[in-house]
Copies of this chain bind each other. A is one copy, B any other.
Amino acid sequence: MSTAEETTGGEVEPWEEVTPDAARRLLVAAVEAFAERGYHATTTRDIAGRAGMSPAALYIHYKTKEELLHRISRIGHDRALEILQTAARREGTATERLADAVSSFVRWHAGRRTTARVVQYELDALGPDARAEILDLRRQVDAEVRGIIQEGVASGEFDVIDVHGTTLAVLSLSIDVARWFNVNGPRTPEEVGALYADLVLRMVGAK
């Protein structure tokens, strides 16, 4: 485990794949601004200012303000999906894998709250094509969680009547963490992840 991973609670520092450096600084500035004020209330002047550049510099690296949101949303969804896939495909019972999936998914939504907020709540600001691409990733996210729950039902570990509805509820519960989680609040991302994993196991009637 690298130093960067340790300081973010086991998760890889994101945005390192974005190059050059100026493009990454702009993107990080955009994430912060979008998370604080929302996409439509954020100005390109604000983003450039946070990155220590002039408004025009943004357009060297990105065609439009919307492209910035698209890149953020794409990378964020890729990361969220990767987290769930890692948990779903490890060794272990459905109970263990569901607890792992929920706790790591929730930990990401709490620990990377600014990113998660943009990813989960600014989808409507994307154009039709980008929106469709992201919705496809969301279907994959849904399928990962549903898969674990179905396996738990099949193995007799879980007692669930409505698998689709329960999957929706589990994801919904986890995603909403990005709305209310407060970095200066009383709970750490790890604590919320552990609590939520327990609550979800209760929801699926795990033994």
Which A residues are closer than 8 A to B by beta carbons? Answer: 37-38, 40-41, 121, 124-125, 161-162, 165-166, 168-169, 172-173, 175-177, 179-180, 187, 192, 195-196, 198-199, 202-203, 205
Contacts and interface: CB of A to CB of B under 8 A. Distances in A.
Contacts of A179: 121, 172, 175-176
Contacts of A168: 180
Contacts of A38: 38, 40, 124-125
A161 B205 CA distance: 17
A162 B37 contact: no
Given A169-B195, A196-B169, A125 B180 contact: no
B121 A121 contact: yes
A185 B124 CA distance: 18
B166 A177 contact: no
A173 to B, nearest CB: 5
Contacts of A165: 187, 192, 195
Contacts of A162: 195
A193 to B, nearest CB: 11
Contacts of A199: 166, 169, 203
Contact of A173 (B121, B173, B198, B202): B173
Nearest to A168: B180
A176 B125 CA distance: 19
Nearest to A180: B172
Contacts of A175: 176, 179
25 contacts: A37-B124, A38-B38, A38-B40, A38-B125, A40-B40, A40-B41, A41-B125, A121-B121, A121-B179, A162-B195, A165-B192, A165-B195, A166-B195, A169-B195, A169-B196, A169-B199, A172-B173, A172-B177, A172-B180, A173-B173, A175-B176, A175-B179, A176-B176, A176-B179, A199-B203
